[in-house]
Amino acid sequence: MNAESAQHRPRRSRLVVGIFLLVLGGLLLAVNLGYGLPVGWWQFLPWALVAVGVLGLILPTRHMDRVGGVWMLTLGLYLLIGFNNWWGLGWVGAWPIFVIAAGLGFILHRHDDRLPPPDQGPTGNGAS
Interhelix angle 66-84/12-32, nearest 10 degrees: 20
Mind listing the pLDDT tens digit for each residue in 109-123?
Answer: 765 555 555 555 555
Please check the confidence at residue 2 and state whether its pLDDT lies above 60. no
How confident is the model over 20-37, as a mean pLDDT?
Answer: 78
Specify the pLDDT at position 15: 75
CB neighbour list of residue 47: distance below 8 Å, 6 or more residues apart: 76, 80
Mind listing the pLDDT tens digit for each residue in 16-28?
Answer: 777 877 887 887 7
Please check the confidence at residue 5 and state whether its pLDDT lies above 50. no
Please check the confidence at residue 9 and state whether its pLDDT lies above 70. no
Specify the pLDDT at position 50: 92
Specify the pLDDT at position 30: 80
